[in-house]
Amino acid sequence: MGHSSRYTSKQADANGVIDYSEEENRVWGDLMSRQLPVLPGRVCDEYQHALELMNFPRDRVPQLAEISAVLQEQTGWSVAPVPALIDFTAFFKLLANRQFPAATFIRRREDMDYLQEPDIFHELFGHTPLLTDYRFAAFTEAYGNAGLAADRRDHAMLARLFWFTVEFGLINTADGLRSYGAGLVSSPGELTYSLDSEVPQRRPFDPIDALRTPYRIDIYQTVYFVIDSFDTLYELAQADLAALVAEARRLGMHAPTFPQRESA
């Protein structure tokens, strides 16, 4: 959103099948092989269980229809192919209709460790598993509806709520702090950093606090928000998100906790 991409989504054929090359399938397999061993003891049980439900192939990029079939059975969601980047309105509309947008390209090997724009591995491995949980799915749908109803000036503020929950959220469990955010569970580096590093702040989740907190997309996060359970997100789905945004706007933004980008 608001950035250009070096990647272009792949188009499906008349049967809805996307043809991935042998190298692209190998990249998927290598990403899976690298990420799966990092998860135990670092992701929450809900994500681990959801990952088992998804049953992603290890040797090829999954077809979106395969993913949609699992989501439809569990919570009525599906996956919608989109260009590499879409605007806020299109994003909110898809979520409000229980469709998660997924760019269909996969990263190149030179981008294995970091890719600014979300690829098919991030979208499927990171995002779709927890959409099998009715609480997480309800929050994501409510977020989409709130975005459609919001004034355009509030889109960036709503993006912060998504960022600090769906993308980079942490959760308290009986076994200690764990991750559930898609940007963490799909990244070996930041997954361990978010839990083990003494550098970032880890704040109890408060939606107004999250709405007021700036972030950067090109560095490890300096702030993470911690929910106590997915019931927190389910309850937030029933709340008046517009009123929370209005209160956050009234209070104003927090000061950044990260260094400013160096000018070119």
Residues 123-159 pLDDT 10s: 999 999 999 999 999 999 999 999 999 999 999 999 9
What single-letter DSSP state applies at residue 163? I
Determine which one of 24, 46, 123, 127 is catalytic.
127
Determine which one of 9, 78, 179, 186 is catalytic.
186
Residue 256 confidence (pLDDT):
95
Which residues 6+ apart lie within 8 Å of 152 measured at CB? 88
Question: For the chain, which residues make up each domain, given as ranges?
Answer: 22-251
Residue 84 confidence (pLDDT):
74
Residue 1 confidence (pLDDT):
45
The answer to whether 107 and 9 have CB atoms below 8 angstroms apart is no
What single-letter DSSP state applies at residue 8? -
What single-letter DSSP state applies at residue 19? -
Query: Cα(40)–Cα(248) distance, rounded to whole angstroms?
Result: 36
Q: Is domain 22-251 annotated with CATH 1.10.800.10?
A: yes
Residue 264 confidence (pLDDT):
46
Q: Which helix (H) or strand (E) holds 242?
A: helix 241-251
Residue 38 sits at φ, ψ, to 5 deg, of -80, -20
Determine which one of 24, 117, 123, 167 is catalytic.
167
Residue 3 confidence (pLDDT):
52
Q: Is 49 annotated as a binding residue?
A: no
Each residue's pLDDT tens digit in the chain (264 positions)? 445 568 899 999 988 899 999 999 999 999 999 999 999 999 999 999 999 999 999 999 999 999 999 999 999 999 999 987 899 999 999 999 999 999 999 999 998 888 888 999 999 999 999 999 999 999 999 999 999 999 999 999 999 999 999 999 999 999 999 999 999 999 989 999 999 999 999 999 999 999 999 999 999 999 999 999 999 999 999 999 999 999 999 999 999 999 887 654
The answer to whether 85 and 5 have CB atoms below 8 angstroms apart is yes
Centroid of chain to Cα 156: 16
Query: Cα(78)–Cα(132) distance, rounded to whole angstroms?
Result: 10
Query: Cα(28)–Cα(31) distance, rounded to whole angstroms?
Result: 5
- Does residue 3 have an active-site annotation? no
Q: Is 127 annotated as a binding residue?
A: yes
- Does residue 127 have an active-site annotation? yes
The answer to whether 179 and 185 have CB atoms below 8 angstroms apart is yes
Which residues 6+ apart lie within 8 Å of 233 measured at CB? 135, 136, 138, 139, 165, 227
Residue 113 confidence (pLDDT):
84
Query: Cα(186)–Cα(31) distance, rounded to whole angstroms?
Result: 9
To 10 degrees, what angle do helices 155-162 and 134-149 make? 170
- Does residue 167 have an active-site annotation? yes
Query: Cα(144)–Cα(81) distance, rounded to whole angstroms?
Result: 17
Q: Is 155 annotated as a binding residue?
A: no
- Does residue 235 have an active-site annotation? no
The answer to whether 5 and 84 have CB atoms below 8 angstroms apart is yes
99 three-state secondary structure = strand
